[in-house]
Structure formats: structure tokens, C-alpha cells
Structure 1
Amino acid sequence: MKGLLIMKKSLTIALLLVVLLSAMPVKAASIEDWKDQILYFVFIDRFANGNKANDHEVDPSDINGFHGGDIAGLLNRLDYLEKLGVTGIWLSPFFTNRSARFFKHQPYHGYWVHDFWSVDPRFGSEGELVELRRRTSQNGMRLLLDMVVNHMGYDAPFAEANPEWFNPPLDIADWNDTEQLTNRRIFGLPDFASQKPVVKTFFKLVARHWIDLLQPDGFRLDAVKHVPLDFWQDFNSSVLAENGSDFLLLGEYLHGDPKAALEIWKKGKFNSLFDFPLYYSMKDVFAEGADMRRLASRIYFDRNYPDAGLLATFLDNHDLDRFITSCGGDERKYRLAMAFLLSARGIPVLCYGNEQGLAGAHNPEPENRRSMVFDQESELFKFTSELIELRKSSPALRRGLHCHLHADATSYAFARLMPDQLAIAVFNNGEESRQIDIALPFAGLPKLLDSKIGTTRALVRQGRLQMFLLAKSFAVFIVDSQPGQHEKSFRKWQKRFFNEKAWGTRTVTLKLKASYLPEKARVFFTGNFPELGDWSSEGRKALPMQKISDDEYVAIVKMPVGRIFEGKCFYRDEKQTVWQPGDNLIAEVADTGSEYIHMEWKNL
């Protein structure tokens, strides 16, 4: 075994000395085509067992053990995915993992790699992978491979033979320390010294090996925030140079701040990221009943991204609670979230079993990774398939510009606009049925619109959209249009999207009612734009509020019409900074109506 390791090490070092000359041919497709895709995450071990001959200590009742799923099982179930309607597969790692349990945990997930060059026999064979690629190509389905570059599995012989390729054996102690996140071990896993040229070249060779063999359409890139930025710059630039700009590099950057995601996207040279900021907002709104304006505020940030339509949106994954579990098992909430996922911008990604309502929390045991259920007659399967088919049939739902129409505490309405088609989505997240009556700034629409899902009918008159929506329900309207009918509207909204002030600015008065603040308190407002202080609690950056009576404070600020902003008041005195209790204010700078935005300080 030792001789084999030395031989493999020598071979690897020799390969690293070879100049990377043989570039892959550039494909004719465009990165834009990814907006037409609906991806599906296949967690190999938990999906389907197609070959019991490769079973190893299989026990489907053990959530930490192998359940027997393999590539053969996926091949047997491709017709299921085709009936569901998804257009691509993100495949969990299939590399050879450690052979035995680590304490009570088997390496069923594929992320404890021991050999990047071979297929784990418990998942199947190289030949089966090649057949999977042949079948998916034949059926027009895309394939994403899961690349693990941050670490190897516990006790990996390669790590023991090449200690200089790895960071010192220190675990992350402070998960808010960027240096520790990128240069220390995740729960003791051997952590590659990714800043070293030898490691960078090694993974470019690994990537080339699997691209040569399988011709995938992209990579899902694991644990982005645990790998130094210069590694991603080098790796992503190399892969794109060899395989074309349409090769998807989908980064898993687990962070809820869209500004942080934007920085990684640009500096790391990714062309897509999982949209964790939107995921957290969806969870707050649909699962926990938060203000629907949180979604509007989150999506308003889209103008800052290179292209928000290339963000991968999702309800859950193998590292998160199942969304239906977050919803407390309430299928109404779950359906509403699924409808939003499949009507909003982005590349929707379903986790295996989303269409069946698979449940389970991620902690203390990973019950979110239960075995797949295949039921093509379940109501959720039919519902999800119907939404997928609607998205696939509508260019506006796939690629249309997002146009904010209305948001309040329990409802949200937006349009997806293209020069030749208009789609409108309206959601009622409340527990009560309600009347919807909102401005609809598009000309030439029919007087009656029928939802493509469900039975809701809307009336269009005098520039307004009117309908009755049941509690926890939605409507999606696709407007039949003539070629170029919406060209003028599209250019207008597009101009505003790229130039926030294109529709003008307006002076807004923020008014706070606060009865019991300390006598010497200095009151400020801060929020998510520079004019509001960029969330700073420093008095010189935040917006000062003037006291105009015993219990009233005001601040005046000019902002672009149509802006959706968030903010909160706080006061400072000689001793402390105290934030206004409760949720952030979320408001829109309206083009008409009152210029006052009212707030109240309520001590909880």
C-alpha cells in the first residue's frame, strides 16, 4: 500500500509539471441558457438502489448509514425525473470515500473523499457514470458534478503521504473569523492549503479528468467560504478558459448577506451562486409568516448582481432543514413557497424529494436526508410538475425582467416582463382571504385574466389589477401578447433597473413616535443604503432625527422613486446605543401619495 501511495504521489507530481495545453472545445451555447433550466439535486445514496451487488453495510433505518442508493438506481429513475419535468441533474460527489465509519457516521454523502480519481464502488462504476452522461445528453438534460476542493476525508492516505499539501491540524474555533474559515479544518477534516500552486494545479487536473470523461455542463463548487479567494480565481478562470463561458460554476457560498455574496461572485470569478440571501427571506416569509415586503426588499438588491437571473434558488438542501419541516408541516405554506420559487427569477434547484414533501430537520440528526419516495400520483408531485411545465412554457417566467408591482405585510405582486410576453404573479401569504387591488402599469391588456394555476380570475380596468385571493394562495397570469407589444414598457423598466434614479427622486419624511426615550437621547435612523447610513450605528454616518415635540422625531431624506429600503431607529446617550425593538422598517418610495413614513417605538 505504501509503495502504491509513493507511486501515485510521483505520478501526481509529474502530472503537475505538465503544462495544461489541451483545452476543451468551446461550446456554442450561452450562459443565458441556464435561465431556462430547472435543476434537481440527486443525493446518490438516498435516491434509489439499482444494484444490490454494490451494497455495503446498507441499513435504510440508520440515518447515519448507507441506504444503498447508487448510479444504477438513478439510471433506472431517469424517467421519473423526465415526468417531473426537470431539465438537469446536480449529482452528489461519487469519488472514492473512506471505507469505514467515522464514529457512528458512514461516508454515504460522498464528501469525505480519499481518492479524487476514482468512483466509489458503493455508488457504482465509471462505466455507469458514462452511461448516465450518455442518457442525459440523449434526453437533453444537463449534468452538474459536485466538486469537493476544500478537504479530504478523515484518515485519508493521500493526506498522510502529502502533509505539505495541507494546512496545520487546527480546527475552526471562531466561525466569524475569515482567516480561520479558509485556513483551518472543518470538524477535523484534513484541510487543503489551497493557496499553494501545487494544490491549485492538482484540482485543475482533477477537473479536467472528469470533464474529459463525462463532458458535464458545469460544477457545483462545495464550501466556497472555506477556500481562499485566490484559489477560486485561478480554478474558475482556468475551467472557463478551457470549457467556455457557458460552463456553469455554481458556488455554495453559505451567507445571508447579499453584499457578501456579490463580492464573492465578482472576485471569485463564479458565474453563479446559490441564492442563500433569498432562501433566508423565503423561509422568514413563507415558513414563519414574516412581512412579505422582505421578499421585495431582497429582490430589489438584484440590480447590483452581475445577473440575478443566474442565481440558483432553492427551498432546502442536504445541509438545511427540509422546507416543509420549517413550515411546521403546513402544506399551504409549502405550496406557496414552491410557487414563488418557480415563478421568480433565477435557476430553480429542487432537492430530491421536494416534489414529494420529504420532511426532516438537519439537527441533531440529519433527518432531512431520508430515503427518496417515488409517487407520481401524489398531489405534491402533480402540483410541482404543473408549476415546472408552466415555467418551461413561458419565456417571461424564465428570463423576464422582474418588475415590482406591490408589497404589503401579507401580499406580494410582481411581473416578469419581456418585449413579447408579460407574466404576473400574485401571492397572499395571510391567514385570511383578501381583495387585491393594485396598479398595473402595462397597456393593451385584456379585461379578464385567468390564472394558469388554480381558478383565480382577475379584472383589469383603469390601470389596475383586481382579484380575490384565498388565504395562503397565489395566481400566475400569462398575458397573450403580440410580438413587441411590451417593448416600450420593457425599455422603461430596464432603464430603471440599471439606473435607480431613472424615474426621478422624491423627498421622504421619516417620522418616529417614541414616548419614553431618555431625556438626553440622540435619535438616528440607519438602513441599507448610503443615504441612510449603510446600517452604521455611528452618529456621523446614520441619519439624525430631529425632535419636533415631546414624543416625535423626524428625518428628511431624498431617495429614488420606487426604491424599497429597510432601516431601523436607534438612540445613543452617554452610556449606550439602544436599537428600536421589533422588525426592521421596510418601505417603498412611492411616486404619488403621502411623503410621510410613520414608525413607532414600542418597548417590548
Structure 2
Amino acid sequence: MGIGKRRRVLMGGRLRPTPRHLHRMFVWPRRPRPHKGAVARSPPRPYSPASLGARGVPGAIIMRSIMSPFGRARAAGLATGCAALLFVPALTAAAAPRVQRVEPPGWWAGHSHNPVRLLVTGASLQGASLTGPPGFTVNRVSNSSNGQYLFADLHLPAHAPTGTVPLRVTTPAGETSAAFEILAPRDARANFLGFSPDDVIYLIMIDRFANGDPTNDDPPVSAGLHDRRKARYYHGGDLRGIINRLDYLRDLGVTALWLTPWYDNVNHLNRRETYTANNELSKQGEPITDYHGYGAVDFYAVEERFGDLATLRELVQEARRHGLKVIQDQVANHTGPYHPWATNPPTPPWFHGCPTNHLANTWQTWTIAHTNPPPDKLKATLEGWFINILPDLNQNDPEVSTYLIQNSLWWVGITGLDAVRQDTLPYVPRTHWARWTAALKCAHPNLTILGEMWDGDPKLVSFFQGGQARFDGVDSGIETLFDFPLHYALLDVFARGHSMTRLTDTLAADALYVNPSGLVPFLGLHDTPRFLSEPGATPAGMKLAFTYLFTTRGTPLLYYGDEIGLRGGKDPHNRAPFPGGWPDDPRNAFTADGRTPEQAALHNHVRKLLTLRRELAPLRRGNLVPLHTAHSSHAFARTLGEDTVLVAFNNSARSQLVELDLAPLQLTAVQSWTDRLGRLGNVSVQDHRLRLGLPPHSAALLTPRRAAPLSGVVSGDEATEH
């Protein structure tokens, strides 16, 4: 979810009283009120210190208990009001322990992350101990004073057989057991593959792509949230709908699917985030649903309107069969406002503040990259709640950091994902990202990690790319980022008519990045207005923008529906359903017959570009060499070994003659070039110069005429495989 969008309309979260996936859901008990003068109990067991090293945060935080009383809460940096709300000791009589859930619900023997830190949620867990079956070791057990949480390290034997094992929880008042699954590992040769410039990413908002299972449109557990007439209600898109459209995606030419979050969301309207008819966030507005998935109430469950874990795993495997990778959208910065933790956190410092007493995020991301930022602005950036609503997780609490690391590892391992996209990257301490990426890369070395750093300044964006330690001594390990600077340049040039020097100026800053070829350029996202809804944008300009996007350096990304020119302004209007994804749609743009002439022209252009990108290795892996730049014309070469591809643009309403000096490319035995986009035909070289007569608002993609194909070209049959 984008930073810029959150400045306007950030989505919230939802509460699920009775979800049905993965494991039994905890029914959160109501906390008794303390009598006046109640004395806070001393903590049952201390935590070991954890070195944090974050700027502005103590080097070690010693947490004396999971639910420390008032003094501990204040020591952790929480306001007194939060402590009074959150950390009241339980006053009920002793009862036998009960366990409602264990997180994670299972793990792998022989995993690089061992022991696994369990978060057990239940009741009457004061002073509880936890034991596993023979061969399993449990230590570092800590209990909350209200008896609702227990943390413990569970060491799995290296060769433990797969299957369910019992975990026993014992207190002086009795004992109970909980099931824990020893999971079967996935074949690393066919999973966790990562992505690269050889790929093209396709972003899908699950609720808005295709409805493959109408039975989950309005389930009884969360009835009343489905209404296709309302832009911020559920529309019925689901995982089954994506499975049903994999053939379309393969034919289009994309190779990786980024899905918006599938976390479980709240089962009722979100009345804490409301919008007016003018799309303004206001307490006098109308409530919304969390169809977008960014307001999690359960990090280990799949939203029932999207499907279930079995369907998700089927999707990943079917995508693999179609030659498509899958990228999960994860959120480590915050929860939804209705997450049970918001009013009952597992540890005192689990969040920065509480619903009644917290900072609001001011989105001053420059403070992270500044050597001496204003402390108040830095604090609000790292600890503030988005739109003053979304509870901000405190990753400097070792328990929170470990929970998030394990949650990421669990989703990757349980499904076979190829990459993770992390939402709201700069608002999480870089020390956490260093720990998080180290754990994921240790388990899955080929996994790709993509971060969202929303800013148009490459000096700031480049700071957040991992691969080297910055002035703070931290290498975040985040290997690739969205190329927001190039996004804004593409809009300026191809929608607003600015000089094409905007493109060369933007790429001139590539030296600031550790790996500019690893960036992810894009024309639009689910947080930005659709291209054709930008002032001045035209289908012809969009074709030129696509041509640049799919021929420049990096791993390009395509937002669902952009290939047919869907329109829509700011969120939520940029998230219209894909036409044809629902049985009663008047047109089915998944088929050639169902597209309008404008949609067909754009779709055919994108498909042709992706075919050429797949065939021509220089477009994916080559160096980018600028050859010509003027106000309304531009040309560059992509070179890889002996192979070269030329790309030229005319962004004006008049024909232009563009002359290119090819001498710096040191090409030999190339006398003519062929325009693979079909506008120019064959063009001859004279004295190392190539003269191109480009029609208005057109581009040419030229390859040398040779007897043998480029080494990056594959046969026609191979070109249909992904």
C-alpha cells in the first residue's frame, strides 16, 4: 500500500470474531476491571536482553514480562493512559489453562530458523509451563500477568517426522494440550525462485480481478459487506478467479504475479475509517470494508472471501505450471485497527502507543536517511500510526520482530512463494529489516525481497536499497525497490508533455543505487491514478510509455487492467473490476472479442512488447546506452555482448527525423536495422549513422539484420513458453 495514497486515504482493518481457517480462532475474553487501589503484580519471569541498535532507541531493552504492570509499560515508552488500558492484571480465580491458538501453527524440522518462538494465546496461563514430545526442547518460557499469552522457544529435532504433535501446557490449576504441525518441506528447486529482469510482474488486487467462486461473495460469518455498486465494499474477486485466468496471463506475457494481501480481515464494516462522498477521510463519512487486505486481524489466516489456504496453495502450484511466479504482499508496519492485539497486546511495547494515546505518522521519510534529523519528526515517522488509525507495530520489541520474521518464513514455506513485497518499508526500523532479510535469505537464498519506498527523489529512494551499510551502519538487505522516480518521469513525459530529458535525467541518478538494474519500474499501481485518467494522457501516449517501460533497465511491473487502458482516478476509483471477471459483465476483456477497439490496440501493443522482451536478451539484461535526447525525441541502445537493440521515440504530434550516431557502439558488419514494431520496416546505416523518420507519437524497436539470430532470441515454439 503506497505512502502517497496513505496521505490521502489509507485503509484500515477489520475484526473477525469467528474465522475458520488454519486453526481455531481465539475468542478474546473480556478483561475484568481492576478495583480501586489494585496493586500491580510483579512479573513472573524476565526476558533476556536484546541488542537493538536502532537510532534513538536504547541498545538493549530488558522486557520483564509479557504483560508487565504499569511501571514496566511506562518504562517501555507507553503513555500512562495506554498502560491503564492495556496492562491490568487479571483478578479472576485460578482455573485450568485453556489454549485457543498457537502461532505459528506449524514448522519444519531441519529449518534454518530453529528454535521457533511460539506465541500461545488462551486463558488462565499465569505461571504456565510448556512441554513438547520426546526430542523436543522448550525454554525461555514467559507468561503474561493476565494469563492470556505465553511465549516459548520450541527446538525441533532435525529429523522429526511430519505430522501433528501435542504441546502440553501445565499450571498448578491443571493442564491442557494444543496441536502443533511438523510440516513437510517444499522442493527448493521448484519453489522460492525469486524474480529478476528476465521477468515481468503483474499486480493483481484480489477482490477486483475475477470472481471464480460466487459462494464466498457474502459468507454468513461476514454478511453484508458485498456490494458491487460501492467502490469500498467487497466485489467478489477471489483466488479461484485468478486460477481461472492463468491462461490469459501467460498469453499476455507476464511471468510473475504480485497479489495484494490475503490476510484475514474484519467481519464487519470498518467504522474507524470513514469517507465522505468527495472521497475525504472524515469522522462524518461512511464506513468502508477492508477489501484491499491491508487491515489484518489475523496474520496466519486467509480472508474467507478470497478462499482458504488450500486454494492459495493450489494457486501457487497452478501458477508454477503456467510458468508464473507468485509474490506475496506483506505488511510488517501495522495491523488493522480491529486486530485483537490493538486493545490487548501480547507485550507492553508491542505497539507504539495505544488506540487512545499515540502519535500520528507524518510521513517524513527523509528523516531516516538524514544524519541528524529533528528527533520529533523521526519519532513520528517510525512510531506514528497511519492516518491516526492503524496500530503501529514496534519492531524494536524482540518478540514483535521475531513474530514478524517467523510469519514471513511460514507463508513462504507453506506456499512455495518466490518473492515478498514489503509494504511501507521506511516506517519500520532498518535494524529489523536487517534481521528479517537475513532470516529469509538464510532459509531461501533465491527469494527476492521488494520494498515500497514512495518518493520521487532518487537520492532518498536509493538510501533504502540494501547491499551495503549506510551511515547508520545498517545494511537492510532489501535488494530491490519500486522505481518511483522513474514512475513520475514517465507521467511527466508521456502524459503531461514534458521534455524527454526527464527520462535521461532520472536514469543519470542510477549511480546512487547499489543495483539500478534490480529496480522495479512501473506505469501505475493500486495506489496511483490510472494513466489514462491523468490530465493530458492519451492512448497513443500510453503506448509510448509502455514501450519505454518494457525496454528500459529493471524488472517492469504492469498493474491489472492497464493493458486494456482501464481508467480511474484516486483510490478507490483506480481499482475498478477487470471487465469480464464476473459472469454478468457486459463485456469480457479477457477475450479478444470482448475488447473495444481501444482496448484491443493497447492489449496487442503490450503483448507484442512482452514477446520482444522475452525474445531479445539485451532488453532484459543489457547495458543501457543513451544515444539521443531532445525535447520530444529520445533514443537509446540496450547492449549485451555482441547483441544490440535500438529503441527510439517521437513524443510529438509531428513527424520527426532522428539521426543516431552508432559509432560509440562499435558495431561491425551491421548495414541495416529492422523495426520490430513494424512502423519503419528496414533502415540502412550510412557512415555509422542511422536516420529514422518517426511518425507522430510513435516508437521504433530495431534489431540488426543478420544471417543468424541474436543469441538472446529463442525459437518460436520456445517463445510461447514462460
TM-score by length of 2: 0.64
Deviations 1:153-177 (A, max 9, x none): 1121133221531001424363333
Equivalent residues of 1:421, 1:481 under 8 A apart: no
Which residue among 145, 154, 163 is the counterpart of 2:328? 145
Counterparts of 1:485 and 1:69 in 2: how far apart (Å)? 42
Identity among equivalent positions (%) equals 30
Q: Residue 556 of structure 2 aligns to a residue in which SS?
A: strand
CA contact under 8 A between 2:361 and 2:383: conserved in structure 1?
Answer: no
Shift of 1:309: 1.6
Q: How far apart, CA to CA, are the structure 2 residues paired with 1:404 and 1:7?
A: 58
The reply on whether 1:429 has 2:658 as its aligned counterpart is no
Please report how far the alpha carbon of residue 7 of structure 1 lies from its aligned counterpart in structure 2 after TM superposition: 5.2
Q: How does 1:185-264 map to 2 (within 5 A)?
A: 185-187=385-387, 188-244=389-445, 246-264=446-464
Give the match's secondary structure for 2:353. Answer: coil
Q: Given that residues 5 and 158 in structure 1 are in contact (C-alpha distance below 8 angstroms), is that contact kept between their aligned partners in structure 2?
A: no
Alpha-carbon spacing, 1:215–1:34, altered in 2? closer, same or farther (3 Å): same
Q: Report the counterpart of residue 265 of structure 1 in structure 2.
A: 465
Q: Retained in 2: the 8 A contact 1:420–1:483?
A: no
Partner of 1:371: 577
- Are 1:166 and 2:345 matched, yes or no? no
**Secondary structure at 1:100 match in 2:** coil
For 1:36, which of 180, 198, 204 is the aligned residue? 198
Report 1:442-453 matches (<5 A).
442=665, 443-453=667-677
Q: Does 1:94 align with 2:262?
A: yes
Q: CA deviation at 1:31?
A: 8.4
1:300 aligns with 2:508: yes
**What SS is found at the alignment partner of 2:614?**
helix
Number of aligned residue pairs: give it. 483
Distance 1:376 1:479, change over 3 A: farther
Structure that is richer in helix per residue:
1
1:269 deviates by: 1.1
Q: What letter is aligned with 1:60?
A: R
Q: Is the deviation greater in 365-374 or in 352-361? A: 365-374
CA distance in 2, matches of 1:230, 1:121: 34
Give the conservation status (yes or no) of the 8 Å contact 2:263–2:302. Answer: yes
- For the 8 Å contact 1:420–1:482, the answer to whether it is kept is no
Aligned to 1:564: none
AA in 1 matched with 2:396: Q
Aligned to 1:469: 694
Residue 483 of structure 1 deviates from its aligned partner by 9.1
Unaligned runs of 5+ in 2: 1-26, 30-97, 104-118, 122-148, 159-184, 219-224, 272-286, 365-376, 467-474, 580-588, 593-599, 712-722
Structure 1 476/94 Cα, relative in aligned 2: closer, same or farther at 3 Å? same
Higher relative contact order structure (alpha carbons within 8 Å, sequence separation ≥ 6): 2
Deviation at 1:359, TM superposition (A): 0.8
1:414-463: per-residue Cα shift (whole Å, max 9, x none)? Answer: 10001131011001112221111121123225333221113214332112
- Alpha-carbon deviation of 1:253? 0.7
Cα distance in structure 2, aligned partners of 1:190 and 1:210: 22
Deviation at 1:29, TM superposition (A): 9.9
Structure 1, unpaired ranges of 5+? 487-604
- Other structure's SS at 1:113 match: coil
User: For residue 444 of structure 2, what is the amino acid of its counterpart?
Assistant: N
Q: Distance in 2 between matches of 1:297 and 1:68?
A: 43
When residues 33 and 198 of structure 1 are mapped into structure 2, their CA distance, relative to the original with a 3 A threshold, is: closer
- Asked whether the equivalents of residues 192 and 417 of structure 2 are also in contact (C-alpha less than 8 Å), the reply is no
| Mapped partners of 1:269, 1:297: distance in 2 | 27
| TM-score, structure 1 normalization | 0.76
Match of 2:313 in 1: 130
Per-residue CA shift, 1:284-325, capped at 9, x if unaligned?
A: 111111110110111122233222221111101111111121
1:602 is matched with none
Please state whether the residue corresponding to 2:652 is helix, strand or coil: coil
Partner of 1:106: 289
Distance change >3 Å, CA 405–CA 31, structure 1 → 2: farther
Separation in 1 of the partners of 2:709 and 2:563? Answer: 36
| Partner AA of 1:372 in structure 2 | F
| Alignment of structure 1 residues 318-337 onto 2, 5 Å | 318-326=526-534, 328-337=536-545
Partner of 1:165: helix, strand, or coil?
coil
- Name which of 626, 635, 653 aligns with 1:404: 626
Question: Which whole-Å deviations, capped at 9, do the CAs of 1:187-233 have from their partners, x for residues lacking one?
Answer: 11011012211111001111121122101001011111221111111
Distance in 1 separating the partners of 2:421 and 2:155: 25
